[in-house]
A = this chain, B = another copy of it.
């Protein structure tokens, strides 16, 4: 998993991505790429491991962040998943221009799209493992698998929407989607049948009112 050089500067990988995007992925040899980032072919492979790993260099960072975030969180499981996933997206889009360049390169290069599937699968594994740890006893086995895959899929969908300019704050939009998604799985992520303190909210509303208006009133009550 590209455990090659901990201290590889991120600017060299963005230089590599720029070079690949300009000249084309297939058209640039590993030697070209090494020269573009200012090192020999030997050390290029030592640092990045392979020609396509240089494109996904900072995924290692994001993945490590995700793992520690899920380990150290004090949030309820559903909230932890929502915020951790949104944080990953936020991290990947920290430099919007670099992100756009990277995904333009991937759009043009089938081999990199395939490689990305492998990379993102590592996130899925982390999610699934966490869910298996926190889920209620008796939860069916398929829950962790599908929810883990869903988190990655929602993340990717939000990313694509941002790339197409449909949303401006991709992480916030993603968090909204994920709150809905995790609410589908709420019964397996929260233990609402034990002695923890609970509160009851009763909202009476007219059928003429839209769900949104009811929701707004409920949100107002919750804020107090």
Q: Give A residues with C-beta under 8 Å from B.
A: 75-76, 78-79, 82, 114, 117-118, 121, 124, 140-142, 145-150, 152-154, 156-158, 161, 175, 177, 179-186, 190, 192, 196-220, 222-223
Contacts and interface: CB of A to CB of B under 8 A. Distances in A.
Contacts of A179: 212-213, 215-216
B203 A203 contact: yes
Contact of A183 (B142, B154, B197, B219): B219
In the assembly, how many copies of this chain are there? Answer: 2
B142 A181 contact: yes
Contact of A141 (B157, B211, B220): B157
Given A117-B118, A118-B114, A218-B203, A209 B79 contact: yes
Mostly helix, strand, loop or mixed at chain A's interface? helix
A156 B222 CA distance: 27
26 contacts: A76-B209, A79-B209, A140-B177, A141-B157, A145-B153, A145-B157, A146-B157, A149-B152, A149-B153, A150-B150, A150-B153, A179-B212, A180-B220, A183-B220, A184-B220, A186-B213, A186-B220, A190-B209, A192-B204, A196-B206, A198-B205, A199-B204, A199-B205, A199-B207, A200-B202, A215-B215
Contact of A181 (B118, B146, B180): B146
A148 B153 contact: yes
Contact of A180 (B121, B180, B216): B216
A214 B222 contact: yes
Chain B CB within 10 Å, residue with most, of A145, A156, A181, A197: A145
A223 B211 CA distance: 7
Nearest to A146: B150
Contacts of A148: 153
Nearest to A120: B117
Chain B CB within 10 Å, residue with most, of A79, A114, A183, A217: A183
Contacts of A114: 118
A76 B153 contact: no
Given A192-B204, A203-B218, A206-B196, A213 B146 contact: no
B157 A153 contact: no
A157 B177 CA distance: 25
